[in-house]
């Protein structure tokens, strides 16, 4: 458990705020049924300890169409003001009174702050304008880009860099024109941000220019014994290449031409190599001269991440296993990651950081078969830890805190009996308590959701 919610935040709820909530004005009517008393009490308990099961609870409450009881609106708004993680969920549960109250109390401004306040963008300080721009990118990215287009020439260099970096939120093909404009900026920082974002747009003119360079520098050669990828780098760069972010300097002592190749292959659409070679699998299998092979594979890997290409990410996972970069694993479709785990290929490292990356983002709740596999691995760890006779160490429950928290949060309710059984059979007192606590918390989740019914 973590410390309870700071009392000063609850104390800040004034009596007049409660009185305002009690006024049932027609324009603030909310036809949704109020939360059952037991569920409302349960919600406040979960918020008090900042429970990691709150997303599941909020999703269930929203699905059933509940609203917060009037008596809790003021307290919930105070918590929403200090809790960015669950602010939107709380405001949605409160309903129309959320914005109404926030408009009357400045310290509750965050829920009421709208991205449509163009006066902030046109007349505010840079800090406020950047906050507005970031908020607008989250809700209406095309409109935000249009506003920046309009003011671009009047923005200071360091401000342009911050705005271009903020385009990462909601990035899409509609941002291409603005990013192309940024490539000609006199600020190196602005140009660098623009290049980074353009590399994530495989359908852009920038990607097409990089693909054209890649076709000139890298060719498929058909030999009698085996087809290979031949690399023929230029001796110098033209102005267009420099504009696109291919720079004349050595990178990590790997050679300037290796660096040029890395930049171009990273930015070229992965579909280029599929057309040239056949598929992601064929690309990783094709013969490449030793001097260039590492560069090509690293660049393909980075391109996979930037372009969020699931097919290439899946191929990398199948080939590299636990050596696959975590940023690549997150792109592999959830069902493929689950199949990979249930096949047993991830067993040796399922409880480690690399293995946990495999389960990040899997649909909630996790299937029982996954829970059984993880519980089996945890029981093995508990047995080995019992032999050490110590409370701490890499095999202790303390070293597996994140795994146990994930179990409490994502295991299906039917996994609780398996955890109780694990507690009964382990010889380690610490692990016995850990298994029992995880099972009890899963039962607690089940009770909380049943109350909503």
How do residues 192-235 score in pLDDT, each as one tens digit?
999 999 999 999 999 999 999 999 999 998 877 788 999 999 98
For the stretch 47-97, pLDDT in tens is: 998 888 899 999 999 999 999 988 888 888 888 877 778 988 998 998 887
Tell me the percentage of the chain whose pLDDT exceeds 70. 89
pLDDT band at 1 (very low <50, low <70, confident <90, very high): very low
Q: Check residue 99 and give its pLDDT.
A: 72
Rounded Cα distance between 63 and 44, Å, is 19
Predicted TM-score of the model (pTM) = 0.81
User: Could you give the C-alpha distances from 319 to 112, 268, 276, 291, in angstroms and in order?
Assistant: 49, 22, 21, 21
Note whether 394 and 384 are within 8 A (CB). Answer: no
Query: Crossing angle, helix 87-94 and helix 54-63, to 10 degrees?
Result: 30
Banded model confidence at residue 7, pLDDT cuts 50, 70, 90:
very low
C-alpha dihedral (37, 40, 45, 51), degrees to nearest 10: 140
pLDDT in tens, 239-293: 999 999 998 665 555 688 999 999 999 999 999 999 999 999 999 999 999 999 9
Q: What mean pLDDT comes out for the span 180-184?
A: 95
Domain boundaries of the chain, sorted by first residue: 7-112, 118-198, 206-323, 333-452
Q: Positive or negative, the Cα torsion across 167, 173, 175, 181? A: positive
Partners of 219 in beta bridges: 230
pLDDT at residue number 426: 94
Contact 393, 385 (CB under 8 A): yes
Closest CA to 75 of 28, 14, 10, 5: 10
The per-residue pLDDT of the chain, averaged, comes to: 88
pLDDT at 251: 57
Provide φ and ψ at 34, rounded to 5°.
-75, 155
Q: What is the pLDDT of residue 31?
A: 87
Instruction: Say yes or no to pLDDT of 6 above 70.
Output: no
pLDDT tens, residue by residue, 83-119: 778 988 998 998 887 777 766 665 554 444 444 567 8
Helices 73-82, 15-22: axis angle to 10 degrees equals 120
Share of the chain above pLDDT 90, in %: 70
Residue range 346-371: mean pLDDT, rounded: 92
Which residues does 336 contact at the CB level (< 8 Å), separation at least 6? 314, 317
């Amino acid at each position: 458990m973590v410390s309870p919610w700071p009392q000063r935040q609850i104390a800040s709820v004034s009596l007049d705020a409660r009185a305002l909530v009690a006024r049932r004005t027609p324009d603030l009517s909310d036809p949704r049924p109020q939360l059952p008393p037991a569920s409302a009490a349960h919600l406040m308990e979960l918020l008090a300890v900042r429970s990691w099961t709150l997303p599941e609870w909020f999703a269930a409450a929203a699905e059933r169409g509940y609203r917060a009881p009037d008596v809790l609106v003021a307290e919930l708004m105070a918590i929403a003001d200090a809790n960015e993680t669950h602010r939107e969920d709380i405001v949605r549960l409160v309903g129309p009174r959320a914005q109404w109250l926030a408009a009357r109390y400045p310290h509750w401004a965050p829920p009421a702050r709208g991205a449509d306040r163009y006066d902030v963008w046109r007349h505010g300080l840079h800090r406020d304008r950047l906050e507005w721009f970031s908020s607008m990118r989250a809700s209406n990215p095309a409109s935000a880009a249009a506003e920046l287009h309009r003011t671009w020439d009047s923005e200071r260099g360091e401000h342009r860099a911050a705005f271009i970096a903020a385009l990462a939120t909601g990035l899409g093909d509609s941002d291409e024109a603005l990013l192309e404009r940024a490539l000609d900026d006199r600020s190196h920082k602005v140009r660098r941000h623009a290049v980074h974002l353009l590399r994530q747009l495989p359908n852009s003119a920038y990607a097409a220019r990089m693909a054209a360079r890649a076709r000139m520098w890298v060719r498929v050669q058909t030999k009698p014994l085996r087809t290979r990828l031949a690399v023929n780098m230029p001796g110098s760069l033209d102005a267009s290449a420099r504009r696109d972010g291919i720079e004349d300097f050595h990178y990590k002592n790997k050679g300037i031409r290796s660096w040029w190749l890395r930049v171009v292959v990273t930015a070229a659409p992965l579909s280029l190599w599929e057309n040239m070679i056949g598929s992601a699998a064929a690309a990783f299998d094709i013969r490449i001269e030793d001097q260039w092979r590492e560069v090509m594979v690293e660049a393909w890997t980075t391109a996979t991440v930037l372009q969020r290409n699931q097919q290439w990410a899946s191929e990398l996972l199948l080939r590299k296993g636990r050596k696959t970069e975590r940023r690549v694993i997150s792109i592999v479709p959830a069902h493929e990651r689950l199949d990979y785990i249930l096949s047993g290929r991830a067993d040796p490292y399922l409880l480690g950081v690399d293995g946990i990356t495999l389960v990040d983002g899997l649909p909630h709740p996790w299937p029982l078969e996954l829970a059984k596999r993880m519980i089996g691995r945890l029981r093995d760890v508990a047995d080995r830890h019992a032999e050490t006779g110590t409370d701490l160490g890499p095999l202790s429950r303390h070293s597996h805190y994140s795994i146990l928290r994930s179990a409490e949060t994502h295991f299906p309710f039917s996994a609780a009996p398996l955890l109780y059984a694990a507690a009964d059979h382990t010889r380690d007192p610490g692990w016995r308590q850990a298994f029992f606590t995880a099972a009890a918390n899963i039962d607690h989740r089940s009770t909380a959701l049943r109350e909503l019914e």
